[in-house]
Amino acid sequence: MNSGNPHRVVVIGSGFGGLFGTQALKRADVEITLIAKTTHHLFQPLLYQVATGILSEGEIAPSTREILARQRNARVVLGDVTGVDLDARTVTAVTVGRETVVPYDSLIVAAGAGQSYFGNDHFSEHAPGMKSIDDALELRGRIFGAFELAELASTPAEIERLMTFVVVGAGPTGVEMAGQIAELAHRTLKRDFRRVDPRSARIILIDGAPLVLPTFGQRLGGKARRQLESMGVEVMLKTKVTDVDGTGLVIEDEKGERHRIEALTKVWAAGVQASPLARILAEQTGAEIDRAGRIEVLPDCTLPGHPEVFVVGDMAALDGLPGVAQVAIQQSRYAAEAIKRRIAGKPEQAPFTYFDKGSMATISRFSAVASIGKVSLSGFFAWLMWLGVHLVYITGFKHRVTTLLHWAVSFLGRGRSQRTTTEQQVFARNVIKSVGEDAYPTLPRVAEDRPEQPKAG
Amino acid sequence: MNSGNPHRVVVIGSGFGGLFGTQALKRADVEITLIAKTTHHLFQPLLYQVATGILSEGEIAPSTREILARQRNARVVLGDVTGVDLDARTVTAVTVGRETVVPYDSLIVAAGAGQSYFGNDHFSEHAPGMKSIDDALELRGRIFGAFELAELASTPAEIERLMTFVVVGAGPTGVEMAGQIAELAHRTLKRDFRRVDPRSARIILIDGAPLVLPTFGQRLGGKARRQLESMGVEVMLKTKVTDVDGTGLVIEDEKGERHRIEALTKVWAAGVQASPLARILAEQTGAEIDRAGRIEVLPDCTLPGHPEVFVVGDMAALDGLPGVAQVAIQQSRYAAEAIKRRIAGKPEQAPFTYFDKGSMATISRFSAVASIGKVSLSGFFAWLMWLGVHLVYITGFKHRVTTLLHWAVSFLGRGRSQRTTTEQQVFARNVIKSVGEDAYPTLPRVAEDRPEQPKAG
C-alpha cells in the first residue's frame, strides 16, 4: 500500500496513550507524527507531589522529545489540535497562532481529559483542578501562599479562613492531596511561622459518595478514611458542593442542609471531562458522547465507519472502563498492533480486552492501599509496591541513574525542597484576582500589635 | 535602651545580604523582621542552570522561612517594600494590595539590584534578564521553545533566526549562559529533532569590553574566551548593542559600523540597576546615587545622619566594591555586629573592610576560572573548587543529606531533567507577545513538504 511510501501515523497527545502508542510502533515501517500541546509527557499520578512541594515539575514531566529521541520513525510537533477532518484524513494543529495541517493514513487520538466542574465552570478560578503542570504550580503557590497570608492576618476568623484547605473529590488524587496538605501543615511547616501555628490548619476532604476511594471497595475505602482522619483530615462524605467563591464554598449534606465553609484554598479533584476533540469526532461519525464527554468507540477502539481512526484512554467510552493510565496504555498498544497488522496484511485482532493490573493509591508516606484482582492490600507493604511501580515507571524512559537517584531522594526524604514559586505565582497576585480587593479588610498593620516604642538613637 | 523591650531590627531583602545579616543576629537579644518580596532565598549564581534545564527552581531557591525556622528571634514577612520613613523609623510593605507598617530601631536594607538596560527598558520584553526565578523560567521556556519552533519552520532564514541565541554581557552570568546554551544545542539536544540539527545553532556572546570576564584579568579572560570558542560560542567583543526587537538586534562594532543579527532568543546579562529603594533613601538623606543607582554609604555602611540604617550589598556604593555575594555577606555581617555592639554598649567597630576571597566562574562542566588574590587557576582544578564552594554553600542551610544528594546528582549528571515549562511559559505564547503576529509569515504547513499520498483503506 501507499506505493512504497511509509504508512503515516498521526498520534494526538503525549500522555499515557499517545506516548505508549508511539513507542509500540518503534519497529514498524511507519512515519509517526506525535502532536501535543505541551513539550512534556506528564506523569499525572504524581502531580499532587509537585503541588505540595515534594517533587519538581521536571521530575514528573520529562521531555517527550527526549523520551523519543532514539525512535527515528517518530517526530514530535508542539501544537494545539483544533480539528480533525475524517474525510480528508488530516489533523489541524495551531502553533504560535499558525495552522499546521498533517495528513494521516492511521490516526490515534489520545487527547485525554480535563477537569470537569459539572456545568459550574466559574468554580475553576477559585478551585483549580489537578490536571496539568500549570495547575500543580498554581496550587503550590496558593497552598504555601495561604500560610504566608495567615502569618499576616489579625482576626481569628481571617486566620481560620486562610488556614482552611478544602479538597473536593475523594478519589486517588483528592485523597493524596488532602493527605499531603495535612502532612505539610502538621509536620513540615510546624516551625516556620511565628504568629500562626500551621498545626491548627483544617484540611477537609469532601465527596458526594458514601465512601473514600469508592473504586477500591468498602474495606480499603474504610482503611483510607481512618488513615486520613488519624492524620487530621476531616472527611465529609455524602456531601455535595453547591457553590464555590473566592473566600469559601457552600456544601449540602445528606439531609439537604446547606452550610458555608470559609476557606481561601480550594482544590478541585472531583470530575473529568474528555477533550473537546471527542465532540469534533462525534459530529463527523454520529458516535455517541457520554456524560463525561467521552466518545463511544467500537470494540476495536475505532470510530464507526473509520477503521483507521482509534480513540483511546480518557477520551474513549468502551465497556465502562475507568479513566486510568493502564486503560490508555493497553488501548494505545492495541491500536499500534492493529496498524502493524494491517500494514503486514495480517488478519484483524480480536476486540480489545482490558487486563486489570489492579490499582493503588497512596495516603501518606509509608501507607497506601492496593487492590489487585481479589486481593486487597493496605499499609506499608502496599506502599512499597506503589513506590516500586512508580519508580520503575518514571525511570523507564531514561535509563539514567541520575533520574532514579533524584527521584528516590526526593521521594524518600521528608524534605519539601520544591516550595519555590515564581513572583507571578506568589499567592498574593492570585488572591487579588480570585477574591477581589475587598476580601481582606482586616489585613493588619504589623505595627499595631505592639505598643509604640521610644526610639533608640 | 527600649525600656526592657528587645531592640527591633528590620531587614529588607532575602538575598545574600538580608539572609546572612539575619543569621548573624541569631544569638542577639533582638526582634528581627525580614521583609522580602519572594518567599525564597535565591542563590543567584546558579540561576543560569535553571534557565538551561539543569536544576529545578527549588534546588537554588530554598524557602527563606525554612532556612530561618529555628531562629526564633526572626520572623519573615512576605511583602514588597514601598517606602522607608527615616524620621518615623518605619518601613512600609505591601502584601495583597494592603499596607503593613513595621517600626524599627535598626534597619538593614539589602534589596539588591535588578537588571539594567541602560535606559532602554523596552529591550526587556525581547531580552529577559537573569535576576529572578521568574526570569530563569521565562528564559527556559524561550530557549527550549525556540528549538520547538525551528522544528516547524521551513525557510533557512527562519530556521537560522530561531536557532540563533544571543547573550549580551560577558561577565560570569553571560559566560555561563552562553556555555550552557552551547552545550544544550551541541550535545543534549542533538538527537531530539528530525528536521533541524540543533548542532547548527549559533550562540553569540556580545560585550562592549575588550575582554571576556574582564574582572578576572587578561590571562583568565583569554582562557575563558578560547574555551567558549572551542565549545562553538561566537565571541564578539568591543561590540555595543544599539537596538533589540522581537526578531533580532542591532550591534555596533569597534569601527562604529552597525549590523543586524536575526535572533529570536536574546538574553540580557549586561548591567545592573540598584533597587529603587536607594532613591527613596537618598531623597531623605542627600546621599549620592551613582550611575548604577546605588546609594553612597559612609565607611561603616550607614547613611549620613542615620547610624541606625545600614545599606549593604548591590544597593550600596562603597570604595568601588563589586556587586558580588561576598560583599553583601560581609557587609551585612558587619552591620549585625554593629547592632550587637550598640546593644551591649560596646565601642563602634573600625570602618568596614572587604576581605576578597576571590572569584570564580564556570564555563562548562569540568572547566572554570578562579582568581584568588594573586593566584589564577583555570581548568578542571578550578572547576572542582567552584563545585566544592557551591555545594557547601547551598547545602549549608539545610543540613540535609537529601539536598546534597539531589544537588550533586543534578550537577554531576549530563541530563537536563528540568526542561519542563508550563503551558503559560511555552515559548509560543511569549513569542506572539514579543514579536507580533506577523513575524512568522512562513511558518509551514507540515504537509507541504511531502507529495500527497494516495489514501490507505
Residue B76 with chain A: CB contacts under 8 Å: 151
Residues 6+ apart with CB under 8 A from A164: A201, A202, A204, A261, A262, A263, A264, A265
CA B258, CA B250: separation in Å to the nearest integer?
A: 7
- Whether the pLDDT of residue B210 is over 80: the answer is yes
Proportion of chain A above pLDDT 70, given as a percent = 86
CA B170, CA B211: separation in Å to the nearest integer?
A: 8
B399 in reach of chain A (CB within 8 A):
no
What is the rounded average pLDDT of the residues A200-218?
95
CA A136, CA A159: separation in Å to the nearest integer?
A: 24
CA A179, CA A203: separation in Å to the nearest integer?
A: 9
- Whether the pLDDT of residue A283 is over 80: the answer is yes
What is the rounded average pLDDT of the residues B88-95?
94
pLDDT of residue A88: 98
pLDDT of residue B430: 45
pLDDT of residue A374: 84
Averaged pLDDT of chain A: 87
User: Of A22, A17, A58, nearest to A40 (Cα)?
Assistant: A58
**Disruptive mutation site among B78, B189, B193, B405 for chain A (greatest number of A CBs within 10 Å):** B78
pLDDT band for position B275 (cuts 50, 70, 90)? very high
| CB-based contact A65 B192, cutoff 8 Å | yes
Residues 6+ apart with CB under 8 A from A266: A126, A127, A165, A166, A167, A168, A244, A249
pLDDT band for position A416 (cuts 50, 70, 90)? low
User: Of B409, B411, B399, nearest to A409 (Cα)?
Assistant: B409
pLDDT band for position A396 (cuts 50, 70, 90)? low
Q: pTM of the entire structure?
A: 0.90
Minimum CA–CA partner of A1 in chain B: B456
pLDDT of residue A444: 33
Q: Which of B3, B194, B410 sits opposite A454 (nearest CB)?
A: B3
Q: Which of B75, B99, B402 sits opposite A409 (nearest CB)?
A: B402
pLDDT of residue A433: 44
Minimum CA–CA partner of A136 in chain B: B422
Residue A410 with chain B: CB contacts under 8 Å: 402, 406
pLDDT band for position B1 (cuts 50, 70, 90)? very low
Report which secondary-structure segment, H or E, holds A327.
helix A325-344
| CB-based contact B65 A152, cutoff 8 Å | no
pLDDT band for position A412 (cuts 50, 70, 90)? low
Q: Is A378 exposed, middle or buried (0-12, 13-18, 19+ CB in 10 A)?
A: buried
pLDDT in tens, A36-77: 999 899 988 889 988 998 888 888 888 899 899 999 999 999
CA A11, CA A105: separation in Å to the nearest integer?
A: 11
Q: Are A316 and A295 in contact, with CB atoms under 8 Å apart?
A: yes
Work out the number of other CB atoms within 10 angstroms of the CB of residue B348. Answer: 10
pLDDT band for position A141 (cuts 50, 70, 90)? confident
| CB-based contact A445 B38, cutoff 8 Å | no
- Whether the pLDDT of residue B442 is over 50: the answer is no
pLDDT in tens, B155-204: 899 899 999 999 999 999 999 999 999 999 998 899 999 999 999 999 99
Task: Locate B394 and state its grid cell.
Answer: 547551598
Q: Is A29 exposed, middle or buried (0-12, 13-18, 19+ CB in 10 A)?
A: exposed
What is the rounded average pLDDT of the residues A433-454?
37
Averaged pLDDT of chain B: 87
Task: Locate A261 and state its grid cell.
Answer: 465553609
End-to-end CA distance of chain B: 92
A411 in reach of chain B (CB within 8 A):
no
Task: Locate A202 and state its grid cell.
Answer: 483544617
- Whether the pLDDT of residue A430 is over 60: the answer is no
Q: Which of B2, B70, B406 sits opposite A456 (nearest CB)?
A: B2
- Whether the pLDDT of residue B290 is over 50: the answer is yes
pLDDT of residue B53: 87
Strands A248-252 and A240-245: antiparallel
pLDDT of residue B446: 32
CA torsion A120→A121→A122→A124, rounded to 10°?
120
- Tell me the range of A276-285, A393-402, B392-401 where mean pLDDT is highest: A276-285
pLDDT band for position A357 (cuts 50, 70, 90)? confident
pLDDT of residue B402: 59
Residues comprising chain B, all counted: 457
User: Of A360, A408, A363, nearest to A183 (Cα)?
Assistant: A363
What is the rounded average pLDDT of the residues B100-110?
97
Q: Which of A59, A192, A402 sits opposite B69 (nearest CB)?
A: A192
CA B10, CA A446: separation in Å to the nearest integer?
A: 12
Question: For the ranges A119-133, B180-194, B379-393, B397-411, which has the lowest average pLDDT?
Answer: B397-411
Helix H, strand E, coil C: the string for B294-352 is CEECCCCCEECCEEEEEECHHHEECCCCCCCHHHHHHHHHHHHHHHHHHHHCCCCCCCC
DSSP A107-175: EEE---EEE--TT-GGGTTTS--SSSHHHHHHHHHHHHHHHHHHHH--SHHHHHHHTEEEEE--SHHHH
CA B89, CA B81: separation in Å to the nearest integer?
A: 14
| CB-based contact A417 B410, cutoff 8 Å | no
**Chain A neighbours among B 279-318 (CB < 8 Å)?**
308
Q: Is the ipTM of this complex over 0.95?
A: no
- Whether the pLDDT of residue A446 is over 60: the answer is no
pLDDT band for position A202 (cuts 50, 70, 90)? very high
What is the rounded average pLDDT of the residues A101-108?
97
- Whether the pLDDT of residue B417 is over 80: the answer is no
CA A7, CA A17: separation in Å to the nearest integer?
A: 20
Residue A424 with chain B: CB contacts under 8 Å: 134
What is the rounded average pLDDT of the residues B45-55?
88
Helices (H), B169-299: 172-183, 217-230, 277-285
pLDDT band for position B406 (cuts 50, 70, 90)? low
In terms of C-beta distances under 8 Å and separation of at least 24 residues, what long-range contacts does B297-300 make, across chains too? Answer: B299/B351, B299/B352, B300/B334, B300/B338, B300/B348, B300/B349, B300/B351, B300/B352
Question: For the ranges B79-93, B152-166, B200-214, which has the lowest average pLDDT?
Answer: B152-166
Q: Is the dihedral of CA B32, B38, B39, B45 positive or negative?
A: negative
- Whether the pLDDT of residue B209 is over 80: the answer is yes
What is the rounded average pLDDT of the residues A246-269?
95
- Whether the pLDDT of residue B354 is over 90: the answer is yes
pLDDT band for position A425 (cuts 50, 70, 90)? low
| CB-based contact A65 B193, cutoff 8 Å | yes
